[in-house]
Structure 1
Amino acid sequence: MSSSGKYVGLGPRDSSESPFPDTFLNWRELIYFRSWQASGLVPFVYYFLFIVGFILFISEIVVNTIAFKAGGFFLGLLYGIIQFIGIVFGGRIMAEVVLSIFDIRDNIYRTAAGSNNVISHQPQPNPYMSSSASSDQYNNAPKRLDYEIFKDKEMMLSRWTQSVVRCTSSASLYSSLQSISYCTTSPIKKIKSNVLPPPPPSSSTSEQPIIKKKSTYIKRSDQQAIDSIVKTRRRDAEYTSNDQKLLERSPEDRKLSQVDYFKKLSKLGRYEEASTLYKYLGTNKRTVFAYENLLLACAVSGKFNESWHVYNQMKKDSLKPSIYTLAHLLQTCTTARGISNERIGERVDKVIAECEKYDVAMTTTFLNIVMKALVYVGQHDKALEFVNNMKGAGVKPDIATYTTLVVAMSEEYKQRTGFLESKFGLLHTINTSHNSQELDELRSDGVKQIEKYTGIIKLLKKSNVKVDRYFINTVLHACKLTNNPQGVFQVYDTFKEMNYTKDIQSDTKTYDILISTCCYTNKIDKGLELFEDMINYNVRPDVGLINSLFRLVLRIASTKQENIYDVDVFMDRIIKYMERYQILPNKDTFQVLIPTYSKLQRFEKAYELLLEMKVLNIKPSIKDYTGLIVGIQGDFEKVMKIFRVIVSQRIKLTPEFISIILKIAKKKGSDENIEEIAKGIRELENQTLNKSI
């Protein structure tokens, strides 16, 4: 430490780094107001003035508001701010002046005394104390960490070296070294006893070089010992922590490095684990790479609030965001759940503003995510205009852009026509109506919409944009959700004519869309043809596609076409198809099969399915029982047995079930049966009401 004073601001101070004493107060001696205790009052006075300034600031606003109404509020706000700033700055200047006075006095004192010791209330270690005194002081002192002992030891050696240079006797040097070497039981004691040579004979010749050499060697050894012990402890703590973290991983992940495992967690969307591992990344911490992966984890898992927190932390670390950073931040808007559309729309605007703020060039992928987010929040008009905006900005749209465009067009169509609300009534009219004029009016909007989809396909062909399977399925699904669902087959034929299906084979999703459309439009022959194609091309089904095939059988039974089509052969082939790929039925499968067998008058098979559901631990729902009573409505006794089972199992009823069973009871049942059904319905409705309360 230099002999001159060192500037120190307000706040806690350490006597080893500051010329001022510790700012503590001895309350029993405060009445005497000793000069060194005055420095401890400076922070209290400063913060007291800070509080006074704030109170005056509030009072100025209140007084002027009461006196001058609305105009007085702004006048009081102005006066209060000026008054508050003046008081705070005045208090700060006063505190600095007081502390400077202490600094000046400390410099004067040390200059006069010719000493480098810091003036302090705390007792300073005496380098000339005896071995016994040093030992007593150490034993009576509170226990400290090793690095504090090493620090005191090094300070004592340094002071002793400065004073012993003026000595003329080597014997005094040896005795001083011995007294220091045995003043503590720390590991340095062993080092001193090993490196010290035996006392040299008394001589006054060439003392100076020997003293300098030995003192330098001792200081270097102390520092090496300290550094070695500290490094060892840090390494042991790090290895222990890493070993514990490795044991928490799965066996296949233990061979991965911290960085590779961090990247894997981010891709899987395991944000909590990735954020914990982030603390142990070392040199990779607080980098663009680390923050990009954390935001990727947020995007995959839909962590809406956490993603913005990570991004703010990145800006606090003075890191410039990349296009990938902002893309992950934006993608969170499309995966988040339970967030209002208004907040997501605000987030999209903020991310775009961040791009302009940091001059980040927008890529096609980034703009695709923006477009997807706009569709997600229901801003379909902006999404539809986005393709033209991209072209105007010099960004070439890709297949993902046009796929999102088709989704935006489909959502806009459903919202405009109210398709989802009138879907079932519309399909019933299309399948049963014989009025050609009515059918043409219903299908007109659907035909126009499908022409738009066909226009996009032709535009892609003209622009040499390569089509993928996901785009094909998106377009087919959009055509299915129109007033002209038969247009699905027209668009599918368009893909074939353009040789898109030559390189891209239809997958499970494609056949699921086509076969479900056959069910909607009563195209049984087309559905059977597609089923044969699936078997020939070895298309691996999922349970959704299997259920669509069973719905095709249900359509045959509902339209009473079992005389035209061999239902037993069809069902047998579907079941063998399931067994071939080991597909297990789910709840939806039984909801289709039970009404199918009921309408085919195969009640024993329907009862077997109910028992099979119990074996598979699938609880029958009201939809299963609805399909069953529709099939056996001719036998009213069985209908009543099923209703009693429903009441005993406390199953929640649907308006469809209530309407069907009351209709059957009025036709087939007696007054007692109607009363029993009404009582059971009231009982189940009261139970549902109590649960909701």
Structure 2
Amino acid sequence: MLKSGILPNVVGLNMIVDGACRVDDINLAEKIVKNIEPMTEGLVSPNAVTYNSLINGYCKIGKPEIAEAMLCKMTGMGLEPNIRTYATLIDGYSRNGFLEEAFRLCDNMVEKGLIPNSVVYNSVIHWLYMEEDISGVSFLLSNMMENHISTDKFTHSIITKGLCRNGNINEALKFHKWVMEKSLVNDAFSHNILINYLCRSKSISGAKQVLCNMFVRGLIPDIVTYGTMIDGYCKAGKMESALKVYTDMFKVEKNANLVILNSILDGLCKEESVKVASSLVDEMIRSKNYDVITFNTLLNGYCRVGNFKEAFLLFTKMRKGGVFVNKVTYNIMINFLCKVGLFKHARNLLSVMVSEGMNPDIVTYTTLLTKLSDKSSSEEVVELHDDLVLKGVIPHSLTYATIVSPHIRDTHA
């Protein structure tokens, strides 16, 4: 390197080490650090930034204990770790389930005169909620207040999400109200978390109230807010409300994303408003905003209302029109054919599915055997079961016990 006239420096070293750690080649990174001084004849030595990269690299691959060994090596060389060093290591221990070690390092920081900031606390709080350790969260929050460390929007979001995830939605609402009253944070993100979990728990009225509160507080809902509310209304079968929110959204957001459109489409099909759903798909095609879920949803809608003609036309259009057809597509059609008693056609479609490189799955297995068992001989049921198993399907235990097993006994009677 020196013979080539290239003057090495620690900035270049840190870039290389960080790059190796980013691609998880920690062995290369450590080898470079180990050999840099002899290679450069002592002109370049690793610094705190170098070791921070190594610590981050080891934490990324789930080895926080080796990362801490790097911390010890670093301090042994007279290099002082900073808050970022500890934050990385504490997060590494926390995400790998070693929360006691994370707490120990927090104490070590204080002993060394480094006060953990909100980034450090947020990481531990997040993983405490993942472990459902509510008392640990309370302890850390008290610790933050004692040390006059301000919480931020990420702290509030983590706490809100943690409470919701653990089923304490009412506590999350109380906490959110307290945060709003104290004017600690006022953004769409924390409201979106509540709306999402309220919709998941089928409390649409609660989600609507949070949305109304956003307007009262002068917040403009974003695409995530609208999408979550629309999906919640659709899943609750309240399509009129979903379409109203969809219309309101266009006053703020001019474009609906694919997830929102597919949610509306699914809701329309479940309400058996297939004609409206078909018009929506036509509009999505014109705007080139669709995917296989779009077509599978409409296909299922046609099958739901028993419109075999439109279902078959759409299925043919999908296969010949360049739209990706997947297992879900075939399972929808196989289920429909079985439902209307066209078992031979269902078996033929299974053969087409396999010929196109798609092996049947547990849904195919259960659909075919459940529908076939009442209408066919025991020999046919057992033959189909064996054929599906040979194609790699692992039988569903309940289906096998209640449907296949009795037919096997009959064939040996």
The alignment's TM-score, normalised by the length of structure 2, stands at 0.76
How many residue pairs get aligned? The number is 383
Compare relative contact order (CA 8 Å, sep 6+) and give the higher one, 1 or 2: 2
**Code of the aligned partner of 1:634:** V
The aligned residue for residue 99 of structure 2 is 345
Equivalent-residue separation in structure 2 for 1:376 and 1:266 (angstroms): 30
SS at match of 2:3: helix
Equivalent-residue separation in structure 2 for 1:404 and 1:360 (angstroms): 23
Q: 1:496, CA displacement in angstroms?
A: 1.9
Q: Kindly indicate whether the alpha-carbon contact (under 8 Å) linking 1:383 and 1:408 is maintained by their aligned counterparts in 2.
A: no
Unaligned runs of 5+ in 1: 1-233, 243-256, 414-448
Unaligned runs of 5+ in 2: 397-413
* Corresponding residue to 1:653 among 357, 361, 374: 361
Q: Does residue 487 of structure 1 match 2:197?
A: no
Q: 1:472 to 1:302 in 2, by over 3 A?
A: farther
* Corresponding residue to 1:410 among 164, 168, 191: 164
SS at match of 1:236: coil
1:571-610 paired onto structure 2 within 5 Å: 571-577=281-287, 579=288, 585=291, 588=293, 591-599=296-304, 601=307, 602-610=311-319
Q: Kindly indicate whether the alpha-carbon contact (under 8 Å) linking 1:384 and 1:409 is maintained by their aligned counterparts in 2.
A: no
Q: Kindly indicate whether the alpha-carbon contact (under 8 Å) linking 2:265 and 2:294 is maintained by their aligned counterparts in 1.
A: no
**Code of the aligned partner of 1:679:** D
Q: Which has the larger radius of gyration?
A: 1
Q: 1:479, CA displacement in angstroms?
A: 2.2
Q: Kindly indicate whether the alpha-carbon contact (under 8 Å) linking 2:48 and 2:81 is maintained by their aligned counterparts in 1.
A: yes
Deviations 1:286-320 (A, max 9, x none): 32233234434555676645533432321332333
Q: Kindly indicate whether the alpha-carbon contact (under 8 Å) linking 1:355 and 1:362 is maintained by their aligned counterparts in 2.
A: yes
**Code of the aligned partner of 1:549:** L
Q: 1:452 to 1:574 in 2, by over 3 A?
A: farther
Greater CA drift, 277-286 or 301-310: 277-286
Q: 1:402 to 1:284 in 2, by over 3 A?
A: farther
Q: Kindly indicate whether the alpha-carbon contact (under 8 Å) linking 2:227 and 2:260 is maintained by their aligned counterparts in 1.
A: yes
* Corresponding residue to 1:327 among 87, 92, 99: 87
Deviations 1:600-627 (A, max 9, x none): 5322212332455xx57x6723x33222
The aligned residue for residue 398 of structure 1 is 152
Equivalent-residue separation in structure 2 for 1:369 and 1:327 (angstroms): 8
Equivalent-residue separation in structure 2 for 1:268 and 1:535 (angstroms): 41
Cα RMSD (Å): 3.8
Equivalent-residue separation in structure 1 for 2:378 and 2:395 (angstroms): 26
Q: 1:551 to 1:657 in 2, by over 3 A?
A: farther
Q: 1:506, CA displacement in angstroms?
A: 0.5
**Code of the aligned partner of 1:603:** F
Q: Does residue 522 of structure 1 match 2:203?
A: no
SS at match of 1:527: helix
Equivalent-residue separation in structure 1 for 2:72 and 2:317 (angstroms): 60
Deviations 1:442-465 (A, max 9, x none): xxxxxxx54433323322222122
1:74-113 paired onto structure 2 within 5 Å: none
Q: Does residue 379 of structure 1 match 2:133?
A: yes
Equivalent-residue separation in structure 1 for 2:62 and 2:249 (angstroms): 36
**Code of the aligned partner of 1:459:** W
Q: Kindly indicate whether the alpha-carbon contact (under 8 Å) linking 1:486 and 1:521 is maintained by their aligned counterparts in 2.
A: no
Q: 1:365, CA displacement in angstroms?
A: 2.2
The aligned residue for residue 48 of structure 2 is 288
The aligned residue for residue 641 of structure 1 is 348
Q: Does residue 631 of structure 1 match 2:336?
A: yes
Q: 1:258, CA displacement in angstroms?
A: 1.9
Equivalent-residue separation in structure 1 for 2:246 and 2:177 (angstroms): 29
Q: Does residue 235 of structure 1 match 2:2?
A: yes
Runs of 4+ aligned residues of structure 1 deviating over 6 Å after TM superposition are 281-284, 686-689
**Code of the aligned partner of 2:284:** I
SS at match of 1:556: helix
The aligned residue for residue 360 of structure 1 is 114
Q: 1:320 to 1:409 in 2, by over 3 A?
A: same
Q: 1:325, CA displacement in angstroms?
A: 0.8
SS at match of 2:99: helix
**Code of the aligned partner of 1:490:** Q
Deviations 1:22-63 (A, max 9, x none): xxxxxxxxxxxxxxxxxxxxxxxxxxxxxxxxxxxxxxxxxx
The alignment's TM-score, normalised by the length of structure 1, stands at 0.48
SS at match of 1:500: coil
Q: 1:269, CA displacement in angstroms?
A: 6.5
**Code of the aligned partner of 1:500:** L
**Code of the aligned partner of 1:291:** Y
The aligned residue for residue 556 of structure 1 is 268
Percent identical pairs in the alignment equals 14
